[in-house]
Chains A and B, each alone.
Chain A
Amino acid sequence: DARVTQTPRDKVTEMGQEVTMRCQPILGHNTVFWYRQTMMQGLELLAYFRNRAPLDDSGMPKDRFSAEMPDATLATLKIQPSEPRDSAVYFCASGPDSGRTEAFFGQGTRLTVV
């Protein structure tokens, strides 16, 4: 059963530390999305890629966040330095390059910055 895999599932870190979240999209999917979920803001799009190229990262704080796709099987979201306000659940999703197709979500990484 194909699925999007995210690691780690949970991460607790101290303020100022670097955090890296990883995502393995479904094989054959060439669009990858990063979303952040918080109680206050709901689901926010942080970045998305098509064929490994970043198409939109306007939702991402540029000074501390970065997103990359080193290869077709790995997407990373990095926060450096982390702050308590970054505490949230981060979801990766992938899909085929079609507007008519749903995106498939991973289980998320719950980040707590203390």
Chain B
Amino acid sequence: AQSVAQPEDQVNVAEGNPLTVKCTYSVSGNPYLFWYVQYPNRGLQFLLKYITGDNLVKGSYGFEAEFNKSQTSFHLKKPSALVSDSALYFCAVREEDTGRRALTFGSGTRLQVQP
């Protein structure tokens, strides 16, 4: 079975400061990892993914994430937060080569960026 943990319900950061949203995963084989963002009353928007290759992946809106296999983590980062980054962030996993296409999501982390 696959699972995702987002240990923080909320992360608060001042505008201009770096931000990190944490995610750890559990799968039997190799993971495909995804980050999504949800703004109020909207659907989930894809930010970035790790499939294979370079452990540091870059995505939309200046976000990046680092895959760490030994720590089974895929933390989302941004060097300088904007107030407009305030939203709900979801980490998701899918296991490689199982044929199962459905993503398993974490519980979400609310990011609050203060001016």
Residues of A bordering B, CB below 8 Å = 4, 31, 33, 35, 42-43, 45, 48, 50, 55-56, 91, 93, 95, 97-100, 102-108, 110
Query: B70-97: which have CB < 8 Å to A?
Result: 90, 94, 96-97
Contact B34 A106 (CB under 8 A): no
Residues of B within 8 A of A4 (CB): 43
10 pairs of A and B residues whose beta carbons are closest in the complex:
A105-B43, A43-B105, A105-B44, A102-B46, A42-B107, A107-B43, A31-B101, A100-B51, A48-B102, A45-B102
The answer to whether A33 and B102 have CB atoms under 8 Å apart is yes
Q: Are B104 and A45 in contact (CB under 8 A)?
A: yes
Contact status A99-B32, CB under 8 Å? yes
A-B contact pairs, 19 of them (CB 8 A): A33-B101, A33-B103, A35-B105, A42-B106, A43-B90, A97-B101, A98-B101, A99-B32, A99-B96, A99-B97, A99-B98, A99-B99, A99-B100, A100-B32, A102-B46, A105-B43, A106-B43, A108-B42, A110-B41
Q: Does B22 contact A (CB under 8 A)?
A: no
Q: Which label, helix, strand, loop or mixed, suits the secondary structure of the B interface?
A: loop
Question: Considering the chains assembled together, what is the distance between the CA atoms of A54 and B30 in angstroms?
Answer: 25
- Number of B residues whose C-beta is below 8 Å from A? 26
Min CB–CB distance B67 → chain A (angstroms)? 14
- Cβ distance B10 to chain A, nearest Cβ, rounded Å: 13
**A108 to B42 CA separation, bound complex (whole angstroms):** 7
Report chain B residues within 8 Å CB of A106. Answer: 43
Inter-chain contact A104/B46, CB cutoff 8 Å: yes
**Known A33-B103, A56-B100, A103-B103; 15 more pairs at CB < 8 Å:** A33-B101, A33-B102, A45-B103, A48-B102, A55-B101, A56-B102, A99-B32, A99-B94, A99-B98, A99-B99, A100-B49, A103-B46, A105-B36, A107-B42, A107-B43
